[in-house]
Amino acid sequence: MLTTSTDTSGREPDDRPLRRRGVQRLAYEQWGAGRSVWEAEIAGRDLAVDRLDVREGAASEMAGQILGPAGEHVWIRSRRFVLDGKPVLLSTSYLPAPLVEGTAITEPDTGPGGIYARLAELGHGPVRFREEVRSRMPLPEETAQLGLPAGTPVMLICRTAIADEGRVVEVNEMVLDAAAYVLEYDFDA
């Protein structure tokens, strides 16, 4: 279950890597049915967002390049995800302000199915996603936020959500603890 508080059960963390199923997690059948994109992956483990910041501003350099002029005024949703009591992911979404202004997307709780379900309600549901995956050593602030041991690399995923007619409706920049994840992509030939 996805929550917005830290697990305080005192249980030992499960050290199995989280299998991130890149294709299945973003399928309409997942978020269109009101489920979190995480539900199929966490298999009974505790996943929480322990830090959330929702604000207006300008997109990062990378997101701005993808969004073009729309990147100058966006809503930003920054989250830190904690799995079984351990930080594993930093995620920042950039959404064009004119598109999402005054909607649940600008609120801390976006509701069932998250931002993709809300975008669909606005008539701009994603019909295609593009993810770019890279790796590098973490920046000092990423090391601190993720509690990484020395020498642990991070994976970077930049996901672009695209609605009909090629309109970019979200750019999500993620920093993943490389030791906490297995990236899985399963698709037809």
Tens of pLDDT along the chain (189 residues) come to 444 444 444 445 556 776 666 555 555 455 555 555 556 677 677 888 999 999 999 999 999 999 999 899 999 999 999 988 999 999 999 999 999 999 999 999 999 888 999 999 999 999 999 999 999 999 999 999 999 999 999 999 999 999 998 999 999 999 999 998 888 777 767
pLDDT value at residue 146: 97
Q: Check: CATH 3.40.1410.10 for 17-181?
A: yes
Are residues 113 and 34 in contact, defined by beta-carbon separation less than 8 angstroms? yes
pLDDT value at residue 38: 58
pLDDT value at residue 6: 40
**Strands of the chain, DSSP E:** 2-3, 18-21, 47-57, 74-83, 86-96, 128-136, 154-162, 168-177, 181-184
Nearest to 92 by CA among 49, 40, 32, 123: 49
Spans of all domains in the chain: 17-181
Q: How many Cα atoms are found within 13 Å in the side-chain-facing hemisphere of 28?
A: 10
Query: Does the pTM exceed 0.85?
Result: no
